[in-house]
Amino acid sequence: MTGSRRGFVWKIWLGLGGVALAEYVWIAADFLRPRARARASNGAIVVAGPVERFEPGSVTAFPAGKFYLVRLEDGGFIALYRECTHLGCTVPWLDDEGRFVCPCHASAYDIRGNVLNPPAPRALDLFPVRIENGIVKVDTRRAVKRQTFEAAQVTYA
């Protein structure tokens, strides 16, 4: 009788200890949660410039916005986030080869961001492009993931 009562109290103490630990873990998790601030500094709407400034078939780097503005041969625009979809290295555009080649593990992408060479698992991410009164604007707040290039991703003047 006494034995089982003692066992019961013992279990309560153990349970309370468990609750205290869980609370600490919960609080710690919130301390570790990424703050919103880190996101806000991440991007904004970048005014790239008038449509005519970009020749068809050209790639223009915007280092501050972390993207490339691509004008395809047919005159349409896409903005490619410069981060490799494999493991996040910054992918340079090689003008003479006409493709993006990642220095880290040699993934290659064509001008539309499609994978030419693995290990990259999917095409380069996109930033939404808008054209207002002949001015190209790129929304760098959030990168859009995609598997591969599709015609619907292109913005025309």
Rule CB under 8 A: which residues touch other proteins? 32-35, 38-39, 41-42, 63, 66, 86-92, 101-106, 118-119, 121
Residue 145 CB, nearest approach to other proteins (Å): 10
Binding residues for ligand FES, per CB under 6 A? 84, 86-89, 102, 104-105, 107, 119-120
Comparing CB distances to other proteins, the nearer of 45 and 101 is 101
Residue 112 CB, nearest approach to other proteins (Å): 20
Selection from other proteins, ligand FES, none that 63 binds (CB < 5 to 8 A by kind) is other proteins
The DSSP secondary structure of the chain, one letter per residue, reads -HHHHHHHHHHHHHHHHHHHHHHHHHHHHHHHSPPHHHHHTT--EEEEEEGGGS-TTEEEEETTTTEEEEE-TTS-EEEEE-B-TTT-PBPPEETTTTEEE-TTT--EE-TTS-EEETT--SPPPEE-EEEETTEEEEE-SSPBP-SS--GGG-B--
Residue 34 CB, nearest approach to other proteins (Å): 5
